[in-house]
Amino acid sequence: MTSVSRFPEPQAVTSPLTEHAVFLVVTIEDGPAAADAARTTIADVDALVRSVGFRSLHAGLTCVIGIGSDAWDRFGAPDRPAHLHPFVPIDGYRHDAPSTAGDLLFHIRASRHDMCFELERLILARLGDSVRVVDDTPGFRYFDARDLLGFVDGTENPVGDELGEAAYIDDEPDFLGGSYVITQRYSHDLSAWERLSTEEQERIIGRTKADDVELDDAVMPSNSHVTLNTVTDDDGSELDIVRFNMAFGSYTAGEVGTYFIGYAKSPETTELMLQNMFVGDPPGNYDRILDFSTATSGCLFFVPSSATLEMLGDLPSVEPVETTRPPVEPQPSVEPVETTHPTTDGSLSVGSLRGEYDR
């Protein structure tokens, strides 16, 4: 791979896990003015990060910005990331992964929630009425990086040089140092989960609960979360992603769960993991954690390098294309012709990741 040291400076994708995070997702309103306001704002967010971060240098404030497929096209950049596309919904064996709206992601992290909140406030003030907030989830570290199911989350993240190798694009010359990120909100049924024995929970996850040790191969179920999230390339080498999941919850809203966020140099690795989880490997052998954890959102974003993000602010405004319709010549009247429409079943003929099985 290309040495990370030769990359354009990436955004702070691989910054260490913090105690707090905010996952802010917005859609851009219609019209070129809204697109221009969004484009120029994200190109200058780094200045806001410095303004807020300098007020507490030990808080480790960072913000990673992701751009959705439709938004990228509206910004009018001359080139397009090869793997950028809307999140593909999955019709699973028993549980589904929906695709939801999202043009921009702001993944804000710090050791203090007030720092995250202040940066979010300034970003939204700068964006003004050019965007609509569709997700605003504050996340928190739960004890020793556990999820609300009680298990440590993120143990298998790569470390050292492998961290950058997993997270940053190295085979798209125009987008070196960029990344792709997939986000999903998972809402947990804790009452049902807590009725299981610890031993049954460990078989579903594939790790011990207290010590966070992976189960031995001899007793590891084929439908455990660990098994179905272990994917390899054609040479048998394990493919990694970089997760910074966070717990979230509101008893007023009646929802507690895990906010999944996975960065990778290609979204195909995360998409294969999700297909294994929801469809199963083989189909029907799905991830049993989904019996207790429901996906309620799904988005895919491209994360440009810092230089590419800054470049977006220099692009010319994309004005609407004005079309001049030719004058309509009067036509001689004709007798109406009866037509027979072909029968249709109303299908949009959109492909999905559903496997060949009966649900």
Catalytic residues: 153
Alpha helices in 105-144 (DSSP H): 113-127
The DSSP 8-state label assigned to residue 88 in this structure reads P
Residues in the chain: 359
Count CB neighbours of 313 within 10 A.
14
**300 has which bridge partners?**
182
3-class DSSP string for 284-353: CCCCHHHHCEEECCCEEEEECCHHHHHHHCCCCCCCCCCCCCCCCCCCCCCCCCCCCCCCCCCCCCCCCC
135, containing H or E segment: strand 131-140
Residue that has been written with the tokens 């999944």 in this structure: 260
